[in-house]
Chains A and B, each alone.
Chain A
Amino acid sequence: MVDLVKPKRKKQTKQARGVSRRTALSGLGGAAALGILPGFTRYAQAQSSAPIKIGFQVHRTGIGAAYGRWYDRTTKAAAKLINESGGINGRPVEIVTEDDGTDPKRGAEVVEKFATQHGADVAFGTLFSHVVIGSAPRAGELKIPYFVVSEGHHVASGMLNRYTLQPCITDVKSQVQSMAPWVASNLGKKVTMIYPDFAFGHDHRDYFSAAMAAQGGEVIGKIAVPPTESSYFKYFPKIPRGTEVLYHVMVGPGVLTFVKEMGEFFGDQRPEIFGFIDSLEAVSINSPGLEFLEGSYFWEANPRYAQAASTKFDAFYRAKVGVDASGASIDDPKDISTYSHMFGCWETLHFIKQGMESAGYRGPGDRAKLIEAVEDIAAMAESQAHPQGAKIFNGKTHQVFGHQYISQVGDGKLNVVHKTAIEDGFYKDEVDYTSQPL
């Protein structure tokens, strides 16, 4: 059959050459007007050069907008790079972007839109944990692979489903577990935590408390702040006396206000401060009012300021995304990146590529094959595809493990003082997604 069809196609191509450009254009216009063209191109190109559509669920508006802006830039840069080097299985990658408004309900609708309207092959990109938790069930029902870049422990905890994976950013449980020994031995054992009052913050609260207890430390104060809060001063008097270390992690548009008001409250009589960089993502650490942070510590997933030990992969990644050595946009030094999170988009796209290529992915019919293929991926080497560093992926829990950094604020920069081993973040599996049906 195939032999019979082939000569016919050749003949058509020859005839087409004789057609003038004007007729071809009017014909195309007519076909488009009749609504024939989209279908036509799809049939003609299916499984050959039609693009692989990746639905990109992004926080363009709402409280996650600053992250969304950088997730978008990183994703575009990664897609461009993948396309320049031949795409996935020889097919170009097309990013289909939809704004979820940092809203769980809208998030689920967006996933549905990817699967039913856009005909996306996979969905990817969400950060805020409540949006992931709201969207993942729909992804599972529609059986569309959903790759999140979120940090929450929800994937590895087993509360989601086999179609949801977090392959290139570590989860909070693993992060805080590898931070606790350092905090306990270098800063103090009596900790007060300030965290946002939703799933992501609760992960911090629960797993850091447990990790500190394992180190002989104690969390003596737990202060939850609604993520939409705009004024924070009222929370600081709740910090118990005897607090040796103040542990803070905050998200949302008010983060700069949060840290500034912390400085107003303490002045130079502050306890040791250990923060998650989330509290200052997309914000310059040299903003007026943040001077008091000098000498304090931050967790970083990926050091914002290029370090002496930074790799050539990091330099390559910075250049491609458009970030300078201090973590700001090359075009606008006031536009600070979300450097400790956005690498997850870059790496996840490369992970999807690796998975699709090893599965021989050809279209939505191969989604189950894709899930099985990515579950088989175990180790990722530090490379252009993984500039943040080497990683170990757990196919059973759908969660990745990697290095973490602790940086100290000094001379208006963040300087890395400690890098954890990947193993520091390991914990016992809480789920085996591979036992769920596809």
Chain B
Amino acid sequence: MDFGPYLLLATLEGAVGAAVLALTALGLALVFGVMRIVNVAHGAFFMLGAIIAWWVADRLGVGSALNFLAALIIAPLAVGAVAVVAERSVLRRLNYNPESTIVATIGLLYVIEQVALMTYGPDARPVVAPWDFRIQLPWFGYSGYKILVIGASIAILLAVWWGLTRTRIGLMMRATQFDSETARAFAIPVDLVYGGVFAFGAMLAAVGAVLVVPIQQAHYLMGTDPLLLSFIVVIVGGLGSLRGTVLAAVIIGLSDGIISVFFTPTLAKIIATLAVATILIVRPRGLFGTRPT
């Protein structure tokens, strides 16, 4: 294949990866930014989203587009509910202590993964894409659905940005992130904000998973890679910085896609990990992180 089309394909693949990664990593960054919790179970929420999406599509059986739309609504809500239960029953009881919650979310990861294995089983199962459309370029064909994923992800990211900067709830979240003590003094229900943010973070992962499941199939081990990449993105972007997270997701996602296509996927992972190491050495607060005061 000539260089031009090859690069186009690599960029498209990278963009799809970046789109899903941006959603997943944003969820992780929100939880860390507002609650100061490193949520190791984030990948498990991602996987849960995909599995519930399969379950909804399988049970409903009303045509691929409606199945998918229903899954896109039900799966994030269900995952959000699980996250709320986990937050109330585990994280709150640990007083959101940063060290304890890391261990607790590792436990949560195992619980969710094993429950998925016991109920859903070890098989990979597909959800049919809502849009069976193939774009035939002169050099290769491309799934129209993948283009839809990029569009949907951009739309959701814009909505989240609008929600955070233009709404009252967003203001409360930002205030809690800035200084939870003072926020409490100004009668912001910090406790509720915490619950809401944890659920919302998990829901973003679930949305990413529902978008990806027609491309990749649902499988109980599918959360590992997104978790790893999300951590890389959040560290590169700057812990807690949402703008940095999205930008880093685009950079990491695109470079992962392009390097995978031109060289090997293993090299892409090596380079991403090296980028994290470099950032941690030369700019520990990340691209957009604020210097701790």
Query: Using a CB–CB distance below 8 Å, which chain A residues touch chain B?
Result: 60-62, 65-66, 68-69, 226, 229-231, 233-234, 236-237, 241, 253-254, 256-257, 261, 264-267, 282, 287-289
Question: Is the pair A265, B1 in contact by a Cβ cutoff of 8 Å?
Answer: no
Question: Is the pair B141, A237 in contact by a Cβ cutoff of 8 Å?
Answer: no
Residues of chain B lying within 8 A (CB to CB) of residue A233: 9, 13
Question: Is the pair B13, A264 in contact by a Cβ cutoff of 8 Å?
Answer: no
Q: How many A-B residue contacts, CB cutoff 8 Å? A: 76
Question: Is the pair B260, A234 in contact by a Cβ cutoff of 8 Å?
Answer: yes
Cα-based distance from A230 to B225 in the complex (angstroms): 10
4 further interface pairs, Cβ-Cβ under 8 Å (given A230-B222, A233-B13, A254-B216) = A61-B117, A230-B216, A237-B140, A288-B64
Of the A-B pairs whose beta carbons lie under 8 Å apart in the complex, a sample of 30, sorted by A's number, is A60-B122, A61-B122, A62-B122, A65-B122, A65-B123, A66-B124, A226-B265, A230-B217, A230-B222, A231-B13, A231-B215, A231-B216, A233-B13, A234-B9, A234-B10, A234-B261, A234-B265, A236-B140, A237-B261, A253-B217, A257-B124, A257-B215, A261-B143, A264-B142, A266-B141, A267-B136, A267-B141, A282-B123, A288-B64, A288-B132
B257 contacts the other chain (Cβ, under 8 Å)? Answer: yes
Residues of chain A lying within 8 A (CB to CB) of residue B266: 226
Question: Is the pair B217, A257 in contact by a Cβ cutoff of 8 Å?
Answer: yes
Question: Is the pair B1, A241 in contact by a Cβ cutoff of 8 Å?
Answer: yes
Query: Using a CB–CB distance below 8 Å, which chain B residues touch chain A?
Result: 1, 5-6, 9-10, 13, 17, 64, 117, 121-124, 126, 128, 132, 134, 136, 140-143, 215-217, 219, 221-222, 225, 257, 260-261, 265-266
Residues of chain B lying within 8 A (CB to CB) of residue A257: 124, 126, 215-217
Residues of chain B lying within 8 A (CB to CB) of residue A61: 117, 122
Known contacts A234-B265, A241-B1, A288-B128: does B123 contact A267 (CB below 8 Å)? no
Question: Is the pair B265, A256 in contact by a Cβ cutoff of 8 Å?
Answer: no
Residues of chain A lying within 8 A (CB to CB) of residue B261: 234, 237
Minimal Cβ-Cβ distance residue in B for A59: B122
Cα-based distance from A236 to B5 in the complex (angstroms): 13
Question: Is the pair B140, A265 in contact by a Cβ cutoff of 8 Å?
Answer: yes
Instruction: Name the distance in Å between A253's Cβ and chain B's nearest Cβ.
Output: 3
Question: Is the pair A237, B143 in contact by a Cβ cutoff of 8 Å?
Answer: no
Cα-based distance from A261 to B12 in the complex (angstroms): 14
Residues of chain A lying within 8 A (CB to CB) of residue B260: 234
Residues of chain A lying within 8 A (CB to CB) of residue B5: 237
Question: Is the pair A256, B140 in contact by a Cβ cutoff of 8 Å?
Answer: no
From B1, B123, B217, B221, A237 is in contact (CB under 8 Å) with: B1
Minimal Cβ-Cβ distance residue in A for B5: A237
Question: Is the pair A254, B122 in contact by a Cβ cutoff of 8 Å?
Answer: no
Question: Is the pair A265, B257 in contact by a Cβ cutoff of 8 Å?
Answer: no
Residues of chain B lying within 8 A (CB to CB) of residue A68: 122
Known contacts A61-B117, A233-B13, A234-B261: does B217 contact A254 (CB below 8 Å)? yes
